[in-house]
Structure 1
Amino acid sequence: MRILTVGAGAAGGYFGALLARAGQDVTFLVRPGRAAALSARGLRVSGQGEEFVLEPRLVTADTLSGGYDLVLLSVKSTALAAAAHDLAPAVGPGTTIVPLLNGMAHLDSLGARFGERAVLGGVAKVVTTLDDDGDILRMAPPRALLVGETGPASEAPSARVREIRAALNGAGITSPDVEDIVAAMWHKWVFITTLAAVTCLMRGSVGEVNAAPGGEELGRAVLAEAAAVSAAAGYPVPEAERAATAATVTAAGSPLTPSMYRDLQGGRPTEVEHVFGDLIARARALSVPVPLLELATTHLRVHQRRVTKE
């Protein structure tokens, strides 16, 4: 496959780098500033026992042309509209787009732009960040990418899903069969909103929150709200997965923080509307009370208004 990775940040850059290292035909669509940095330093990955440098094939929006089989779209939701505009020349009748955003709203906007048939569901499970040099640092073991058709479930994955999974697994990226990708997206949404709400409200890592009296109870209460919304939408979180999320957000001494917390602490815009605003809107439509998630949303909206005015 000819693969275009939109963005060479912490997640997209990591998955694209693994695919390129495995011999796949990968091109990175990046902004001019990122292109200059990657041309100078290469695409560097380290952490969790791996360290390598690639000379990535780069394009910018003004030099992009068509012919791609697969587009991995890994950008912040705040950059989604601009990214969709930039990648449009790469999309032809046979192109498949796999977005790696949290939440659900991007499926509608991408489907409206490129056609629902072109867009698969995707769930990225990876803990990476960019360091001060713009290099990718992997901070925890998971490196999985779930892919599936968003239409009615079938007995077997489609040919294009099988091909994408084969490429991912061949690059060392875990990509198992998924019975219902939309359910998997909802369950990731529950995880990320729980983790982000707890750390952003309390302005601390998971371990710092749980070291304070009431911290562990807060994590469980936020998870209960998020899981209730998912269940009301028709996607109850399996007990084993819910227990794993609870263990993550109540782990003593854990240094874990999500990217939204790091954006908040860094004074940068966050994905509050895509991740939180959309979820609480759905909660209201389903008559599910979510006072803690609403509090986290208001907190992040105040921050968002402040940084966008500066």
Structure 2
Amino acid sequence: MRILVVGAGGIGGYFGGRLVEKGEDVTFLVRETRKQQLDQNGLVVESVHGNMKLQPKTMLSGETAEPFDVILLSTKSYHLQGAIDSIKDYVTENTVILPLLNGIAHVEELRAAFGENHVIGGLCFIETTLDEQGKVIQTSPIHDLVFGEYSQEKTERIMKLQAAFEGTKANFRLSDNIEQDMWHKYQFITTLSGVTSLFRSPIGPIRDQEYGVETIQTLLQEVGSVMRRVDAPLADGIEDNQFQKIMQMGYNMKSSLQRDMEKGLKTEAEHFFGYLLQIAKEKQLSTPVIATVYANLEVYEAQ
């Protein structure tokens, strides 16, 4: 199976690297500066699950390539349109696009660009970042990639994909209900990103404060109420489960959005919170905590 990984940052570099390590036919579609870095130094991954130094195949958008069976999309939401433009020439009749972006809004954009049949569901759970030298630093025990058909069918193509992912030194899991898994992840990461960015703190000190805990609970409820108004397939009692998960996280755990803020980078505020606020406005829902988180991020980005 020929796999194209769009981007070789923290997520694409890690999961793509694990597939290269296994022996799969993987090519990284990257920008010129990253290509030079990878060609010169290789793909270097420092991980609690074992380090890697690989010499991967790389290419630039516009270069000619044989058809790819799957395109693994691991960009930030604000780079989505650029990624769509960069892969248009590589999406053939049988190509499957597996996006790992957080949230939901990107699904319709991908379907509009390539057709519903080309897009399957996906998400990942991993704490990873790219350092100044271009190394992928992966620091937590969790390194999960989840995928599946929106129809929940075990199609021929999804079973081939599962076979390609099996035996990789990361947890690639075929989901029985990928749409629900994606909404659950969206609710979780929105809450975690919201409170950690709002308080400018890892999750531990927030939990130590009475009103910090109250903010976590209120944000979970607000997010869930918005999602249910568009018939998101949230499980019964999911807010309680999400709350317990957040309360059990490592004391110094930070969200990727918070890490982006600490680096002075652009955030995914619009993709996470702007999307929910748009729904809330249409449905006339009161969401003061979501609005506060969004305003905080907008002020940050305007500075």
Q: TM-score, normalised by structure 2?
A: 0.93
Residues 2, 70 of structure 2: 8 Å contact kept: yes
Displacement of 1:66 in angstroms is: 4.3
Q: 1:275 is aligned with what amino acid?
A: F
Q: Please, which of 221, 232, 235 is the counterpart of residue 235 of structure 1?
A: 232
2: CA distance, partners of 1:298 / 1:115: 34
CA contact (8 A) 1:210 1:251 kept: no
> Shift of residue 126 of structure 1?
1.5
Task: Using the TM superposition, give the Cα deviation of residue 289 of structure 1 relative to its aligned residue in structure 2, in angstroms.
Answer: 2.6
Partner residue, 1:182: 179
How big is the shift at 1:229? 2.3
Partner of 1:167: 164
1: CA distance between counterparts of 2:257 and 2:205?
17
CA positional deviation for 1:124: 1.2
User: Equivalent residue for 1:141?
Assistant: 141
Describe how 1:253-272 pairs up with structure 2 within 5 A.
Answer: 254-272=251-269
Q: Which moved more, 1:78-87 or 1:168-177?
A: 168-177
Q: Which of 197, 204, 212 is matched with 2:209 structurally?
A: 212
Match of 1:294 in 2: 291
Specify the alignment match of 1:201 in structure 2.
198
1:49-103 CA-partner distances (Å, limit 9, x unpaired): 4111111111011324341110001101111111111111211111111111111
Q: Structure 1 counterpart of 2:162, which letter?
A: R
CA distance in structure 2 between the partners assigned to 1:240 and 1:175 by the alignment: 26
Following superposition, the deviation at residue 172 of structure 1 comes to 3.2
The alignment-based identity, stated in percent, is 35
| 1:201-251 superposed Cα distances (whole Å, 9 cap, x missing partner) | 101110122233422222122112112223333235436754443134334
Q: Which residue does 1:284 correspond to in 2?
A: 281
Q: Which runs of 5+ in 2 are unaligned?
A: none
Distance 1:287 1:236 in 2: 21
Q: Check whether the contact 1:207–1:251 (CA below 8 A) recurs between aligned residues.
A: no
- How many residue pairs get aligned? The number is 303
How large is the RMSD of aligned CA atoms in angstroms? 1.9
Aligned in 2, Cα 1:139/1:238: closer, same or farther, shift over 3 Å? farther
Alignment correspondent of 1:69: 69
SS at structure 2 position matched to 1:254: coil
Q: Distance in 1 between matches of 2:278 and 2:114?
A: 25
Q: Give the distance between the partners of 1:235 and 1:255, measured in 2 at CA.
A: 31
Q: How far apart, in 2, do the equivalents of 1:288 and 1:175 lie?
A: 37
Q: Assess if the C-alpha contact under 8 Å between 2:127 and 2:256 holds in 1.
A: no
SS of 2:185's partner is: helix
For the residue of structure 2 that corresponds to 1:21, the secondary structure is helix
Instruction: Determine if contact 2:61/2:86 at 8 Å carries over to the other structure.
Output: yes
Give CA deviations for 1:252-279 in whole Å, capped at 9, x if unaligned: 8611111111111221111111111112
Query: Hey, what's the Cα distance between the residues in 1 that align with 2:122 and 2:283?
Result: 24
